[in-house]
Amino acid sequence: MTQRAFAASAIEAGFQGRLIEPGTGDYEEARKVWNGMIDRRPALIAQCKNGTDVIAAVNFGREQELVIAVKGGGHNVTGNAMCDGGIVIDLSPMRRCEVDVVRRLVRVGGGALLGDLDAATQAHGLATPVGINSTTGIAGLTLGGGIGHLMRLHGLTIDNLVAVEMVTAAGERVRAAENENTDLFWGIRGGGGNFGVVTSFTFRLHRVGPDLLSGLILYRAGRAREVLRFYRDYVSTASDKLGTIVNLRKAPPAPFIPASLRGVPVVGIIPCYCGDPAEGEKVLRPFRDLRPDLYAVEPKPFVAFQEMLNPTVPPGWRYYWKSHYLAPLSDSVIDILVAWAWRARSPRSYTLLPHMGGAVARVPEDATAFAGRDAAHAININGVWTAEDADRADDTAWTRDFFDAVTPYATGRAYINFMGNEGHERVRTAYGEAKYARLVKLKARWDAGNVFRMNQNIVPTR
């Protein structure tokens, strides 16, 4: 019996999911993740149907001293959902979303995508704040914090998390909530996948939509300083109902963008007004008065808006990210944005600046493991290219240089979901010394052997 066959037979005891090994028909597809730069070959992929399967996979991986990776949506830029030579606990079959309309709660499987959650909740005119691409996994997004379009009014994804069910490094089922395993509940809200495998999340829901005033506003990059200064001043006093993300890039060949703008350097404003559309038209009127080259903003289903950016970030392209938090945009920072944003070699590369504040900032900084609630913006610098044009469009160097240029103006913290594989010290800096020290103690309690280390790793004390 081969080692791989032994691994499969050993885990099959009580295992109801699928086991995929190298050489089997589904292996090449099953090992793919969103970032096409990732090319890892696990010894075994355990596609789990339920929590019992997860327990079996965790126990087997730990006992055999295998590297364990956990795959929810597989969307994180690091590719840590895959490993070389170890076992992947693949939650993709666990995508069920159960909505309790009366209590305004939703219970979501650990493998669900944002699109699954949005579709289930919007059928009832409800939503919880999540990210900005519907193909993102709920698990990774939530465990890192959850920045998205609705956060200024309803908080981060973790601010709406009621409870989780998870499997620990010891292979035990636990539940964490505000009144149960409270230390663990604190840590998973921003501490990433360091403490176990979350098999289900329960979120609080809000009345949202189903139609929201949302879309895209574009200005040519030649007016970038004027537009960004106006934007800075305007959003500083904007209603919490208005969520905006600045997108600096060359306009993509999307069907809603005129041919005359495609490939042109632009400042994009992505607005989402979580309120009455007529009221939102008045709120956004100043952006229209600024004479945009495109004003494609209208009431549209929230589900459709959540899918709007999907074609610009499809699976299989190559992605390289770096990120900071920023204070309100000073003239000096705007000058750096203008100097660097359009130096990218690839027309697919872009820079996002989600506007934070509002409900995000009203939660005390020490209430959760998430760091950076006092930031005005996150900046996510995205080098994006394809395998076919890698020789002429690899934007790794551009991403790093742009990141370095912004660093003197950064707050010192970072959003871990926007970070690449940048090393232990970068993780420590992202959280800050006090919060990191608390996370280390928590890690030592729940995963002293660092079984779950394919993540932005918190190293346990020994």
Q: What residues make up the domain containing 75?
A: 3-90
The residue from 64, 90, 116 where one domain ends is 90
**454 lies in some domain:** no
CATH number at residue 252: 3.40.462.20
Q: Are residues 199 and 215 in the same domain?
A: no
Distance (Å, whole) CA 379 – CA 350? 11
Q: Are 67 and 85 in contact (CB under 8 A)?
A: yes
Q: Are residues 269 and 344 in the same domain?
A: yes
**226 lies in some domain:** yes
**Degrees to nearest 5, angle at CA 428 with 352 and 446:** 110
Residue 63 tokens read as 């006992």
Q: Are residues 73 and 109 in the same domain?
A: no
Q: Are residues 175 and 35 in the same domain?
A: no
Residue 12, Cβ density class (10 Å: 0-12 exposed, 13-18 middle, ≥19 buried): middle
- pLDDT for 6 equals 60
Q: Are residues 102 and 204 in the same domain?
A: yes
Beta bridge partners of 219: 267
The residue from 90, 124, 151 where one domain ends is 90
Instruction: Note the residue count of the chain.
Output: 462
**455 lies in some domain:** no
Q: Are residues 172 and 281 in the same domain?
A: no
Residue range 187-240, pLDDT digits in tens: 999 999 999 999 999 999 999 999 999 999 999 999 999 999 999 999 999 999
Q: Are 419 and 140 in contact (CB under 8 A)?
A: no
Q: Are residues 159 and 255 in the same domain?
A: no
The residue from 166, 193, 208 where one domain ends is 208
Residue range 152-194, pLDDT digits in tens: 999 999 999 999 999 999 999 999 999 999 999 999 999 999 9
Distance (Å, whole) CA 423 – CA 405? 20
Q: Are residues 258 and 169 in the same domain?
A: no
Beta bridge partners of 209: none
- pLDDT for 391 equals 86
**441 lies in some domain:** no
For helices 224-235 and 331-340, angle between their N-to-C axes, nearest 10 degrees: 140
Under DSSP, is residue 353 helix (H, G, I), strand (E, B) or coil? strand
**348 lies in some domain:** yes
Q: Are residues 251 and 283 in the same domain?
A: yes
Alpha helices in 341-420 (DSSP H): 359-362, 390-393, 396-406
Residue 332 tokens read as 């000096």
Under DSSP, is residue 163 helix (H, G, I), strand (E, B) or coil? strand
> Which residues fall within 8 angstroms of residue 375, CB to CB, at 6 or more apart?
325, 326, 327, 356, 411, 413
Cβ neighbours of 174 (radius 10 Å): 16
Q: Are residues 379 and 349 in the same domain?
A: yes
CATH number at residue 175: 3.30.465.10
**383 lies in some domain:** yes
Beta bridge partners of 137: 113
Which positions of the chain have pLDDT values less than 50?
Answer: 1-2
The structure's pTM equals: 0.96
**449 lies in some domain:** no
**364 lies in some domain:** yes
Number of domains in the chain: 3
